[in-house]
Amino acid sequence: MVPPAERVFAWIEYRAQRRVVPPVGFLIGQRAWARINHNRWIADCPCGSAQVVSPADPRMACTECGYGWVELVFPEDVAAVEASIEAALPHLRNWVHPDDPVPWPLAAKPRQGVAS
């Protein structure tokens, strides 16, 4: 029984044949924003990598740069967010937290006169 956030490390070891050890403890005062990208919950690391995440285990650590465990910010009603995008095709199921300070292209409003 591996917690969801630690499964990423097990997957990297198994599939990439690369030894990675999950960090110990949290980075105090740091957090990441969970978002839906192509029908999966992910969170981005400051190094530019991203990890698959789960509302069942709201933390993330980076298998690429070693960035330690950080708290994840999910929406208050995860089920409602997931339901709001379920009618779209999987590659169009994207959602960004409205309070996320990073200006993701997915969250950008289309410019007038520009097709989206």
* Residue 114: per-residue pLDDT: 43
C-alpha span between 55 and 4 (Å, rounded) = 9
Q: Give the CB-side neighbour count of residue 33, counting CA atoms within 13 A.
A: 14
Question: Which residue has better confidence, 38 or 106?
Answer: 38
C-alpha span between 51 and 29 (Å, rounded) = 19
**Is this model's pTM higher than 0.85 or not?**
no
- Give one DSSP letter per residue of 1-31, joined into a string: ---HHHHHHHHHHHHH-------SSEEEEEE
Closest among 29, 35, 39 to 50, alpha carbons compared: 35
